[in-house]
Each structure stands twice: as C-alpha cells, then as structure tokens.
Chains A and B, each alone.
Chain A
C-alpha cells in the first residue's frame, strides 16, 4: 500500500516567518491533496495538485508537486497565528476512490 511521510512532524515558528512542509510518497502520485485541521475540528480542503511541476496558491499558502521525486511541498509565507493547526497531505489512488493520508505536521505560530 502507498505510504506518505510528512516532515517535519511538528514545527514552531515565530509570527512572520516563512516555513515549508514536505510530503513524500513511496509510490506514484496520481493526485495530491493538502488539508488543514484546526485542533479538535474536521479537515478543511486547501488545494489539490495533479500534474508534475504544478503549483497552486491560496492566500499565503503555496503548494508544489514534484512528480519525479514523488513529493509535494507546502510553503507558508509570513506566517500568522491563524495558520496554526495540523497540515495533512493525502494521495489519491489510481482508481480515484480512496485517499491515503500522511501522519500530519503540527504547526504552531508564536505571536
């Protein structure tokens, strides 16, 4: 089965700093999803990447997909306390009916 490894597992940054979260797959990526989970709540969809080299942005969050490396990165520019939470990457299987999730990256932003 596919495995997704996220790094780092946790991260504490000062407000205003940039940060990057990585998601590496053990198998071919057919579709890579990024979600954010606020502590104690459900998952909120951020963005989805499908093609190698694809890059998407939403406000101050940018995600990229490196198909050859089977890896995606999520970059937050000028972090704010509202960015705090758990970021999860999920990979879609070839049939498109299942997601496999990474272990998550816990982000804290210190004011």
Chain B
C-alpha cells in the first residue's frame, strides 16, 4: 500500500526560486495537511484541507500556498524561496473527525541557499 507519497525527497533551491512540493494519498482520506519540521523542533502546521476545493491556514502559512482540486492530491507551493523556509516538509492525511490518526509521508528535505 502506497499511503501518502511525497515528491521530491530532497531539493536545493536558490533564494527567490519557486517550487511545488507534491503530496498524494490513495486512502480516500478527506483531510490532508502540510507541516514543516525545523531541526530539533516539533511539527508546525502550514495549511490543511478538509476536502477538495477547501483549504485553511494553519499556524505558519506565510510564504506558502496550497490547492486541493482532487481528494488525492494536495500540493504545497513556495513562490519566493527564502532561507527561513529551509526545513523538512511533511504531508499527512486522515479520515474526517472520528479520532482517526493522521498518516504521514516520508518528508521532503528542502534547503534554500
């Protein structure tokens, strides 16, 4: 079972460049999430979506954009990469609230130089 798939696994960007981090899940989960994990820290929620066409800001949304055109995909866009966005990005998905756990991808390691 694929679960939550993130691509790419690693990426180095120059300041000011843009890129899209891809996330796909094959579990038909309505809820999807994007987190960032800075070194030695926990996870911070960037954006989340409760279904196709619906997205909401999390704790640290500045500098990012998301879209949810299908149930399966939830891409995260960085428009103008900044060194402060160097982090590990995790995508997760879950069923709607009935206390179901979030399932995580393996992460994308992004360095902005």
CB–CB B48/A97 < 8 A: yes
CB–CB A41/B106 < 8 A: yes
A82 at the interface (CB under 8 A from B): no
A-B contact count (CB 8 A): 61
A95 shortest CB reach to chain B, Å: 7
Given A31-B99, A97-B48, also A43-B104 (CB < 8 A): yes
> Which chain B residues border A98 with CB–CB below 8 Å?
33, 45, 48, 58
* 1-60 of chain A: CB within 8 A of chain B: 1, 4, 6, 31, 33, 35, 41-45, 48, 50
CB–CB B50/A97 < 8 A: yes
Most buried by B among A6, A31, A42, A100: A42
Given A41-B106, A98-B58, also A104-B101 (CB < 8 A): no
> Which chain A residues border B42 with CB–CB below 8 Å?
4, 6, 88, 101-104
Most buried by B among A41, A44, A48, A101: A101
CB–CB A48/B43 < 8 A: no
Tell me the count of chain A residues lying within 8 A, CB to CB, of chain B. 26
> Which chain B residues border A42 with CB–CB below 8 Å?
4, 90, 104-107
Can you list 9 A-B contacts with CB-CB less than 8 angstroms, sorted by A residue number? Answer: A33-B102, A43-B102, A43-B104, A48-B99, A90-B43, A90-B102, A99-B45, A104-B40, A104-B42
**Interface residues in chain B, defined as those with a beta carbon under 8 Å from any beta carbon in chain A:** 4, 31, 33, 35, 40-45, 48, 50, 58-59, 90, 92, 96-99, 101-107
**Interface residues in chain A, defined as those with a beta carbon under 8 Å from any beta carbon in chain B:** 1, 4, 6, 31, 33, 35, 41-45, 48, 50, 88, 90, 92, 95-104
New A-B pairs, 18, CB < 8 Å, besides A42-B4, A100-B59:
A31-B99, A33-B102, A41-B107, A42-B105, A42-B106, A43-B43, A43-B92, A43-B104, A44-B104, A48-B101, A88-B43, A90-B43, A97-B31, A98-B48, A101-B35, A101-B42, A103-B41, A104-B40
